[in-house]
Structure 1
Amino acid sequence: MEVPTIFWVVMTAIAAVIPIWAWHMLNKLWLRPKRLEKLLIAQGLRGDPYKLLSGDNSKQMYMLKMQQEAKSKSTGLSKDDAAPRIFSPIHETINQYGKNSFFWDGTKLHVVITDPVEIKEVLSKMNDFPKQKLNNPIAKYFMTGLASYEGEKWAKHRKIINPAFHLENMKGMLPAFVESCHDMISKWKGIMFNSSLDGTCEIDVWPSLQDLSRDAISKTAFGSSYAEGTKIFELLKRLGYLILTTQRYTNIPIWWLLPTTTNKTIKKIKRDMHNSLEGIIEKRKKAWKNGETTKDDLLGTLLQASNIETQGQENMKKTNGMTTKEVIEECRLFYLAGQETVADLLVWTMVLLAKYPEWQERAREEVLQVFGNQIPNFEGLTRLKVVTMVLNEVLRLYPPATNINRALEKDIKLGNISLPAGVHISIPLLLVHHDHDIWGDDAKEFNPERFSEGIAKATKGKVCYFPFGWGPRICIGQNFVILEAKIVFSMLLQNFSFELSPTYAHVPTTLLTLQPKHGAPIILHRLY
């Protein structure tokens, strides 16, 4: 008698749960999306209608086809259109419905924001417009640390990390930048010596610039431990590849739990990376306890500021510090974000200066006037007006990130639009940077002259130029990126002139950041 009783209790419970679950799914997959859509349409916004289970899947498939066609038919780097051609649902939505529009990503409704006044409000009010949470478990692993935190935890970590990017510490990074760049230049001259008698050779500079940025970050992050740090890049590279190959499974939660070969590889890479970083940190902590001087690199700053202590057999931390795990997350984020951003800026600057020799020569004249053939110094770098103009224009045309996303957790009034909780906000950074209404008829041309009087003058005080974000969450490492880029190009311009190879195929592609799909073959000419 007892078994049947249990059976009927279980069946009754299941019978009670099924209608609740069914209502939840109906609301999630149909009622709620349609309600949000109706609210936006009533306020004058337009977009493709929501479709059950697919969102804008048809549009995404169309965009994927367009991307593949663009990649197979390389576009030239035109004088009248230096801007990259990127295909995505947000770009197609704006082309079809205008700037006041929305699009679907599954059941997520994204409202497009392009007005500088509204952009300023979104990026300045971080508590009202928190960052969008990631679904992809691998992407979550990458975007941890300061990039993912909100509220008090974000404020605490930002305060701890800030000293690493203060002026004096930035000055201390110059030797690492110079050394890394010198190694790359020596390598290129060696290739030139072995392959040509006239001081000319063709090199795909993209891999070399990636190696340079990795090497420089390893030195500035871990100081004397940079050789160990370079191993982490190989792990990051492999993990990044796995992100691209598993994107199709993002919306299938159970996939990440399956014991596939890919998932086993992912877990091993994450474990190896954690162990490598933890080993470096433990060595530094041990040296610190033995009375060795604290390093001025990122790791030294984090450990000193976070004030991690070991008590007995357990790791403890003070209330104003970080755990070892949090230090690992910040170092990993610095590795990824710093390397990608620096390498992207370097390669696109080299491509554009190769395409526009008049600006290459203007920048070279300035560098030689300030430094001659001497190693660049911090004071001289601050006087490089033309180089700064060029870098600003490259970041306008080719920002590392092409979109900024936020998610609403409560009802918000933004401009003339009332946005309900659950709506996502998408700021098409790339399109705002190329908007003819903001930048004029030459918005898609390479024209550094527009920054001759600084960013504020070029933007007329509007928030329409934000390659590193804007507001409280502006990238903490932006000065690091610009400083390294100035050093690299000062040294390159001192040693080489360069032009695009006839084999160069201009196919900008968005992976984690905006990168050259087929590399960047450049013809180098040695100056002396």
Structure 2
Amino acid sequence: MEVTVAGWVAVIIVSISIVVRSAWSVLDWLWLKPKRLERCLREQGLQGNSYRLLCGDTKEDSIMRTKARSKTMNLSDSHDIGPQVDSFVDKTVKTYGKNSFVWIGPVPRVNIMSPKDLREVFTRHDEFCRPVTNPLALLLTSGLFFWEGEKWKKHRRIINPTFHSEKLKLMVPAFHQCFDEMMKEWESLVSKEGSSTALDVWPSLQNMTANAISRTAFGTSYQEGMKMFELLKEQAIHVSKALHGIYIPGWRFLPTKTNMKINEINREIYGILRSIIEKREQIMKAGEATQDDLLGALLESNQNHIQEYGKNNKNVGMSIKDVIEECKLFYFAGQETTSVLLVWTMVLLSQNLNWQDRAREEVLQVFGSNKPDFNGLTHLKVVTMILFEVLRLYPPIVEHNRTIPKKTQLGKYSLPAGVEVRLPSLLIHHDNELWGDDANEFKPDRFAEGVSEATKNQLSFFPFGAGPRICIGQNFAMVEAKLALAFILQQFTFELSPSYAHAPLYLITLQPQYGAPIILHRR
């Protein structure tokens, strides 16, 4: 009996100990640690709202986002879209200055806006890691974008040859096919109306870039890729909502309606990709030549990597799961980046007809009535200036965030472990101190002498990121955008429809909330 009582006493003591430790951990996570971090940041001169239990600034951020989405902007005034797109961060910087922070739940996120500090963050990528605030984001896209350390180095080494210029050149016929299909669709609509028609070009550009990435990524399996496009569009909506809320550890495992839908879509995408990849691997094993597409180039590079670094070591190359994740990243990033770049380019050229005329004159001078080709792209100086200016004013990704695993010195600040840093590209691209009083105006000629001259050799323009982890697909996106814009300029002139409502919306990428109705005129 005494042993039994002693046993029960031990169980009770252990249980109480576990409960106390758990309660202390929760208290530390919810209150003690955030307050320690806040005190540390304020002692160094950084300013922001006081920490509010659990929610931090997310509630106010959500309210301001909702309010901003209910309004439109006057496009003719300026392109100062910070208050519309990233309203809370814009307000924070205006209230507390550039040396400020915001609260993402119980985690403080410091705004980094000094070009010197920005370069440090991008360069020291082992110390400033990509945060996974909500693991649900990985179901939308992961791959090279999120990997760290040796895995990132291995994947970057394998994927690099996939985006070599000679590989991209081989994909031009696939681009031409997609552009031709869109041009025929637009010409048909114009013919029905006479010599011009009003068309929301945003869905057309999305479908065209989805078609292009499907053909260039998966070759003959492009129809399955188009199915994936629809699934990823739906997934982006669910994930975006989740990312703007507070993530509670373990919540993603609960059988909520949203969680079940996200997991269902992920399984379907995974199944499509596994089927495509396994078929392609069988073809390669049979000794047939690889196709001139991204998947073929990736599998070929992976095979070469395995042969070079050790056939018997399973960890040398990429697994089929790794390849699937990289394909998701190809698809989502490749389609989204180019479609938003093209839609904002058409909107701004519809507003600035003099620049549209200059770009068209250049395209006709370089290509005439022939299909734009890869070699001619280097001669499109005006087109390049325009695309850079669009990327400055309307960057596809409006901010880059990093987390700090351990205490780190950045410039004059000693940032404690657990703090995140925000690199607000949108606000930096519009900063008067860096770009001048005309920072919110569309002036492509600021890039006439190249990016280095426009930025005075400072890191103040980074639509694709910067440093060793700069977006590996940036050349792919720029080649596609230049070719597509050249096709459009050859065949149409265009202007904004009176029904156009300017309302940039950040939903994973920066998109036109109400589409882009534009009046097309056949040349």
User: Shared fold by TM > 0.5?
Assistant: yes
Moved more, 63-72 or 109-118: 63-72
With over 3 angstroms needed to count, the CA separation of the structure-2 counterparts of 1:27 and 1:64, relative to structure 1, is closer
Moved more, 2-11 or 337-346: 2-11
Is residue 200 from structure 1 mapped to residue 199 from structure 2 by the alignment? no
1:507 corresponding residue in structure 2: 503
Q: Which amino acid aligns with 2:119?
A: K
Deviation at 1:427, TM superposition (A): 1.0
Q: Which amino acid aligns with 2:122?
A: L
1:177-217 deviation line (CA, Å, top 9, x unaligned):
111111001001111222x12x1001000000000110100
Q: Which amino acid aligns with 1:166?
A: H
Structure 1 gap segments, 5+ residues each: none
1:112 corresponding residue in structure 2: 111
How many residue pairs get aligned? The number is 517
Deviation at 1:3, TM superposition (A): 6.5
* Aligned-residue identity in percent: 50
Deviation at 1:168, TM superposition (A): 0.4
Distance across 2 between alignment mates of 1:403 and 1:459 = 18
1:40 corresponding residue in structure 2: 41
Q: Is the 8 A contact 1:508 1:514 kept in 2?
A: yes
Deviation at 1:448, TM superposition (A): 0.1
2:25 corresponding residue in structure 1: 24
Q: Which amino acid aligns with 1:69?
A: K
Distance across 2 between alignment mates of 1:207 and 1:316 = 48
With over 3 angstroms needed to count, the CA separation of the structure-2 counterparts of 1:394 and 1:37, relative to structure 1, is same
What aligned pairs does 1:445-524 form with structure 2 within 5 A after superposition? 445-524=441-520
Distance across 1 between alignment mates of 2:301 and 2:376 = 31
1:15 corresponding residue in structure 2: 16
Deviation at 1:519, TM superposition (A): 0.4
Q: Is the 8 A contact 1:504 1:520 kept in 2?
A: yes
Q: Is the 8 A contact 1:411 1:419 kept in 2?
A: yes
Distance across 1 between alignment mates of 2:492 and 2:285 = 47
Secondary structure of 1:237's partner? helix
1:179 corresponding residue in structure 2: 177
Secondary structure of 1:462's partner? coil
Distance across 2 between alignment mates of 1:40 and 1:523 = 52
With over 3 angstroms needed to count, the CA separation of the structure-2 counterparts of 1:40 and 1:249, relative to structure 1, is closer
With over 3 angstroms needed to count, the CA separation of the structure-2 counterparts of 1:123 and 1:24, relative to structure 1, is same
Moved more, 155-164 or 222-231: 222-231
Deviation at 1:267, TM superposition (A): 2.3
1:317-352 deviation line (CA, Å, top 9, x unaligned):
744311000000000111111111011101000000
Secondary structure of 1:441's partner? coil
Normalised to the residue count of structure 2, the TM-score between the two structures is 0.95
With over 3 angstroms needed to count, the CA separation of the structure-2 counterparts of 1:247 and 1:146, relative to structure 1, is closer
Deviation at 1:247, TM superposition (A): 4.8
Distance across 2 between alignment mates of 1:400 and 1:248 = 18
Moved more, 209-218 or 297-306: 297-306
Distance across 2 between alignment mates of 1:268 and 1:142 = 12
With over 3 angstroms needed to count, the CA separation of the structure-2 counterparts of 1:421 and 1:249, relative to structure 1, is closer
Secondary structure of 1:307's partner? helix
2:320 corresponding residue in structure 1: 324
Deviation at 1:425, TM superposition (A): 0.6
1:149-170 deviation line (CA, Å, top 9, x unaligned):
0111101100101111101001
With over 3 angstroms needed to count, the CA separation of the structure-2 counterparts of 1:71 and 1:167, relative to structure 1, is same
1:230-250 deviation line (CA, Å, top 9, x unaligned):
111121122122224545665
Deviation at 1:50, TM superposition (A): 1.4
Deviation at 1:417, TM superposition (A): 1.2
Q: Which amino acid aligns with 1:486?
A: K
Is residue 409 from structure 1 mapped to residue 405 from structure 2 by the alignment? yes
Moved more, 415-424 or 202-211: 415-424
Deviation at 1:510, TM superposition (A): 0.4
With over 3 angstroms needed to count, the CA separation of the structure-2 counterparts of 1:66 and 1:109, relative to structure 1, is closer
1:217 corresponding residue in structure 2: 213
Q: Is the 8 A contact 1:433 1:465 kept in 2?
A: yes
Moved more, 81-90 or 220-229: 81-90
Deviation at 1:268, TM superposition (A): 2.1
1:298-320 deviation line (CA, Å, top 9, x unaligned):
1112212222999xxxx987443
Normalised to the residue count of structure 1, the TM-score between the two structures is 0.94
1:277 corresponding residue in structure 2: 273
Q: Is the 8 A contact 1:222 1:298 kept in 2?
A: yes
2:165 corresponding residue in structure 1: 167
Q: Which amino acid aligns with 1:442?
A: D
Deviation at 1:143, TM superposition (A): 3.1
Q: Which amino acid aligns with 1:441?
A: D
Distance across 2 between alignment mates of 1:307 and 1:180 = 30
Deviation at 1:141, TM superposition (A): 1.4
Deviation at 1:354, TM superposition (A): 0.5
Moved more, 42-51 or 486-495: 42-51
2:436 corresponding residue in structure 1: 440
